[in-house]
Structure 1
């Protein structure tokens, strides 16, 4: 399954800033294991970020709950699960042939 994780800041940028190094380490870990396919800031960047993830929803929910932004209470996650009906061949391969 494909999941779109919307990361919304719930605090000021000054309150978010101390948690950025932990958040970056968190992203690296989940990218390294193949769960996160893409992550990035929204434009404008004060809204938060977006992560595309693959795997079962429970695992992705656990990953979101571990984000230092979430544990510090400076961001909240909305997770949208997508059942891909059509996809480019490159993306289909990443999704396991879906």
Structure 2
């Protein structure tokens, strides 16, 4: 099932700045393992960002979210909404219905 993860700064972007490099590595790791389909800043970016994840259950996405360096260092929180797709654009059907990603 897909999950929408909203990343909200608990303070300012400047508070998060020391952790950006580790946060980007976290994003790259989960894009590479196939869990994150899309990630990026919100508009305006001062609010945080968003992630579209898939292929893992809710327990796993909760664990992955807790590992975000922004969350670990208290400069952001994650709000997760899990979606049960009723209708899917054909261009997204394959990635959203792919077999679950193995997360050891």
TM-score, length-normalised on structure 1? 0.95
The structure with the largest strand share of the pair is 1
Question: Which aligned runs of 4 or more in structure 1 are off by greater than 4 angstroms?
Answer: none
Unaligned 5+ segments in structure 2 are 99-104
Is 2:28 aligned against 1:28? yes
TM-score, length-normalised on structure 2? 0.90
Give distance in 1, aligned partners of 2:43 and 2:14.
Answer: 18
Matches within 5 A, 1:56-95: 56-95=57-96
Task: For residue 23 of structure 1, report the CA deviation from its aligned partner.
Answer: 0.1
Unaligned 5+ segments in structure 1 are none
Give distance in 2, aligned partners of 1:91 and 1:81.
Answer: 16
